[in-house]
Structure 1
Amino acid sequence: VVFLEIIFFLKNINFISENQFRKDYQNVLGSLGCVSESQFRDVLGKVSEFMQKLKSAERAATIMEIYAPLHQHVYHLQESFLAPEFLQLVKYCTACDVMQPWKGLMKLIQTEAAPRVFRFPVFRKEFCKDFIEELKHFEQSDAPKGRPNTMNNYGILLSELGFDESFFSPLREVYLRPLTALLYSDCGGSCLDSHKAFVVKYDMREDLDLSYHYDNAEVTLNLSLGNLFFGDMRRVPLSETECVEVEHHITEGLLHRGRHMHGALPISSGTRWNLIIWMRASRERNKLCPICGKRPTLVESDIFSDGFTMDTDDTSSNVSCFLT
């Protein structure tokens, strides 16, 4: 099926359920070359994903109208939010002109939590306290809420709250990219040009853990209050002994490659919040989709589109990945 043709009517369709979609559009799709059940299900998955993004944009508009923040200051990144140790790392990477920058950076980071998984303080405790209070305040409000991703049932898409432009974009561009350029230059760390930021919530009455997976990202920052475990690269471990458990503390972030397999261990009591930033490099993913492992066909889109761009020199052009 050529999805380039199908995309033209996506914005005008009505999607309520699989049965409704099949009844209303199967004949139309058949005329475009979608004739087998597997082809139909491929289209169904793409349409469902597309509609979820449109609904997210609608939720963001509604939230802006009806939600009154508790801590307005946390929506705008300030250097005072950041841990001194993190600022020292950024300063070193930004001014780095030595012969062996990696060795000097490792002295500042001190240890690897797992192979090529780096742990260091990111935020100050005062900011984390206010940030979590803001999340809880939003969670208790009447504002609409969507799932942060397909794996977690509880959490918040921070783009819907308006965090992206004034908080996570400068965090990625000014503070994180100097580190990732040195640590992950082999997988797009020097050209990260978009992101998806969200929080996930673990609670005894909700999600307890997160199964083994890899991220839709070139590089991930995970700031958490619980333990993670890391395995190999995009493969299921042969046994639990192949995984490394990583203890994780408030204010500290774990920086790792998106394709590095990992999971969250179950909580035994209380509630845990994780802040996740999936950072994307269009220069890398335009050549090879990190999820399906195929070369993508790029289609212009008016909504955020998982880090793909039509032109790697023009990051303002949003496109979606549709595979032929």
Structure 2
Amino acid sequence: MTYYVCRCFFSNNIFLKQYNLHVTYKDEEQFKHDYLQILRKRGCNTEEKIREACREIQKEISRRRHLGEESLKRRNVISSHYTPVHPEIYHLKEEYLASEFLALVQACKANKSASLEEIFDRIKVEKAERVYTFPIFTEEFCRLFVEELSHFEDSDCPKGRPNTMNKYGVLLNELGFDEDFLTPLREHYIAAITSLMYPDWGGAFLDSHKAFVVKYKLGQDTDLNYHYDNAEITLNVSLGKTFTGGELYFGDMFRPRETSNQNARFTEISHVPSIALLHRGQHRHGASPITSGERYNLIIWMRSSAVRNACCPMCFEEPDLVPTVGFGDGFTKQTETVDVCTV
């Protein structure tokens, strides 16, 4: 299977952290026309600051244009030079999975055409709409995984960072976790849950993912701004270490061509190690600042080409496909689609 990105990846949804603003950038004239007023209100009030913002955006666009080839280079260097401290965890084993999770998966597989009563007995339904939490990994696996990530951080290998919102963390495909850990986790376990909980969001047709670990620490990234994900369904697992603060909060669903709801109500969820949180990618959310310690979260953006082939979740148009490497952004040239863009 060949996967693609949409051409809007090189212009849309670029995050200016200093001004807490996602922007679309086609050229400087369009950028000023669309964002100058709001930028001035947020402190970008001189020509030099505007030029600096443009340079930052152009740098990010350049990074995106070379993302596939640079990622492949990093992966080759890592596979040749990095020695894992826990090589056994690169292959998924059921002993790494919580017994509650295995029971939940089994119940979902047994109840594909039955009621969801037994499922809801095994999963926590959060107050935020269609957000669910459940144990997924053992505490011992989380400990080993965090040790592996810390060991990799301390190495001199090149590191690709997750995205413009998270400057600290690891792209797990570059480290070698995709083939034997993340893909079977998605295909053989998580899909059983998402097919029942999110049938209207492609939950039964998840055929690719982007997985990364984000790190929060005082003096580095401490929080995550309000946003939505480039995914149909997101799995967020708290791995540890020890920290305070950092609560997740959920607001409303993103709606294209609608202004942001300034009066949106937020639902806060405390996220503790070894627990997975499952939600729709376009359910807007963020993370409050940690106040002490160090926190690692595993994020898996799960994509359904049957959904996104019809409608790109970032530009909300029919995707204009550009070849890339790996899973790209989950688009394919297959024509079978599931229409959820108006859900």
Question: Normalised by the shorter chain, which TM-score bucket?
Answer: 0.7 to 0.9
Unaligned runs of 5+ in 1: 1-6, 11-33, 314-324
TM-score by length of 2: 0.76
Whole-angstrom distance in 2 between the partners of 1:78 and 1:311: 32
Aligned partner of 1:234 in structure 2 is 254
Whole-angstrom distance in 1 between the partners of 2:205 and 2:61: 27
Contact 1:237 1:243 in 2 (8 A): no
Contact 1:156 1:198 in 2 (8 A): yes
1:53, distance to aligned residue in structure 2 (A): 2.3
- Give deviations 1:147-185, integer Å, cap 9, x for gaps: 111210100000000000010000000000010000001
- Give deviations 1:43-94, integer Å, cap 9, x for gaps: 9976541302221111011011110000001111001100011101100111
Aligned partner of 2:97 in structure 1 is 82
Aligned CA distance change for structure 1 residues 38 and 51 (closer, same or farther; 3 Å): farther
More relative contact order, 1 or 2 (CA 8 Å, 6+ apart): 2
Is 1:288 the counterpart of 2:308? The answer is no
Alignment equivalent of 1:208, drawn from 222, 230, 233: 222
Give the aligned CA root-mean-square deviation in angstroms: 2.5
Aligned partner of 1:107 in structure 2 is 121
Alignment equivalent of 1:199, drawn from 213, 219, 226: 213
Contact 1:54 1:303 in 2 (8 A): no
Aligned CA distance change for structure 1 residues 309 and 97 (closer, same or farther; 3 Å): closer
Aligned CA distance change for structure 1 residues 105 and 44 (closer, same or farther; 3 Å): same
Identity %: 51
Contact 2:235 2:279 in 1 (8 A): yes
Aligned partner of 2:272 in structure 1 is 249
TM-score by length of 1: 0.80
2:114 partner SS? coil
Whole-angstrom distance in 2 between the partners of 1:37 and 1:239: 31
Whole-angstrom distance in 2 between the partners of 1:36 and 1:227: 37
Aligned CA distance change for structure 1 residues 103 and 312 (closer, same or farther; 3 Å): farther
1:106, distance to aligned residue in structure 2 (A): 1.1
Aligned CA distance change for structure 1 residues 213 and 153 (closer, same or farther; 3 Å): same
Whole-angstrom distance in 2 between the partners of 1:263 and 1:126: 27
* Equivalent residue runs for 1:148-187 within 5 Å: 148-187=162-201
Aligned CA distance change for structure 1 residues 157 and 205 (closer, same or farther; 3 Å): same
Whole-angstrom distance in 2 between the partners of 1:60 and 1:113: 40
Contact 1:217 1:280 in 2 (8 A): yes
Whole-angstrom distance in 2 between the partners of 1:114 and 1:36: 39
Question: What amino acid is the match of 1:280?
Answer: R
Is 1:143 the counterpart of 2:154? The answer is no
1:108, distance to aligned residue in structure 2 (A): 1.5
